[in-house]
């Protein structure tokens, strides 16, 4: 039975992306990793799509190991615990996770923090790749040039948002309900899908600026982490998310 259900979800994930997206901005963002969930036991930690050391030297192996196996895992564990306490009984897939984010004002602070943490990190891993960086192509490239005048200007606006977050949070590139690009940030583990967020949109690029994401290698030098991170950005994935969001 378990296998059947999982196969069903996997198949649904493969065929469902297009039709789900039509139902609203943001739906289906994390479809490609939804086969990693285990509906019987709540949400589970998706595998990293590359090795722990694959993003060296921009992001060191030990940071990736702790960040994924300990920090992200803790968000997943605590999300399941918080949802169990409110008798949440839906299928724990990535659509459900997006749905919780969009209606997060109706949940506890524990759900807000940990659903955000699970969503943000699940997305973050896919937005990086070994030997990434370079430039986006196609529609995303045009949109970046028309909104920010150049890729360099976009990168400095985004980096400025990341540098200026006080304490812990995330910097984002989002597609708004008007289909336009904008950059912004959210505190803690909030994200732009959340109904309580001041900065809203469909996230297509995000940067974790919690100290746990960079402190071992960069200590207090957050700007150095941010500039090194551009070398591992997975623009193919960002472009894919952009085309889905503007459809
Ligand atoms: Mn993190």
Which pLDDT does position 28 carry in this prediction? 59
- 7: CA distance to ligand 1 center in Å? 30
Residue count (the chain): 247
Q: pTM of the prediction? A: 0.86
- 208: CA distance to ligand 1 center in Å? 6
21: confidence class by pLDDT, cuts 50, 70, 90:
very low
Burial of 8 from C-beta contacts in 10 A (0-12 / 13-18 / 19+): exposed
- 185: CA distance to ligand 1 center in Å? 14
- 15: CA distance to ligand 1 center in Å? 30
Mean pLDDT throughout 227-233?
Answer: 98
- 165: CA distance to ligand 1 center in Å? 14
Which pLDDT does position 17 carry in this prediction? 34
Which pLDDT does position 5 carry in this prediction? 38
The dihedral formed by the CA atoms of 203, 114, 189 and 101, expressed in degrees to the nearest 10: 40
Which pLDDT does position 9 carry in this prediction? 36
Residue 30 reports pLDDT greater than 80: no
Which pLDDT does position 23 carry in this prediction? 35
Query: Is the peptide bond between 57 and the residue preceding it cis, with omega within 30 degrees of 0?
Result: yes
- 5: CA distance to ligand 1 center in Å? 31
pLDDT digits (tens, 9 = 90+) for 109-139: 999 999 999 999 999 999 999 999 999 999 9
Residue 206: phi and psi, rounded to 5, are -145, 145
- 130: CA distance to ligand 1 center in Å? 19
């Amino acid at each position: 039975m378990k296998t059947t259900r999982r196969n069903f979800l996997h198949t649904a994930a493969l065929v469902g992306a297009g039709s789900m997206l039509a139902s609203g901005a943001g739906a289906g963002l994390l479809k490609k990793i939804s086969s990693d969930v285990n509906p019987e036991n709540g949400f589970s930690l998706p595998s990293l799509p590359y090795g722990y050391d694959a993003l060296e030297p921009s992001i060191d192996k030990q940071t990736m190991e702790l960040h994924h196996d300990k920090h992200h895992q803790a968000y997943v564990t605590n999300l399941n615990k918080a949802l169990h306490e409110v008798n949440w009984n839906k299928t724990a897939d990535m659509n459900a996770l997006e749905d919780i984010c969009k209606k997060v004002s109706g949940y506890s602070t524990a759900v807000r923090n940990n659903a955000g943490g699970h969503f943000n990190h699940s997305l973050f891993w896919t937005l990086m790749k070994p030997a990434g960086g370079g430039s986006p192509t196609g529609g995303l490239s045009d949109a970046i040039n028309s909104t920010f005048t150049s890729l360099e200007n976009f990168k400095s606006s985004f980096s400025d948002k990341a540098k200026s977050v006080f304490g812990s949070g995330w910097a984002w590139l989002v597609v708004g309900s008007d289909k336009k690009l904008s950059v912004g940030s959210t505190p803690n583990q909030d994200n732009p899908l959340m109904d309580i967020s001041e900065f809203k949109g469909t996230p297509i690029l995000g940067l974790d600026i919690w100290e746990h994401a960079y402190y071992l290698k960069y200590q207090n030098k957050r700007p150095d982490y941010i500039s090194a991170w551009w070398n591992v950005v997975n623009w193919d994935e960002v472009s894919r998310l952009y085309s889905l969001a503007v459809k």
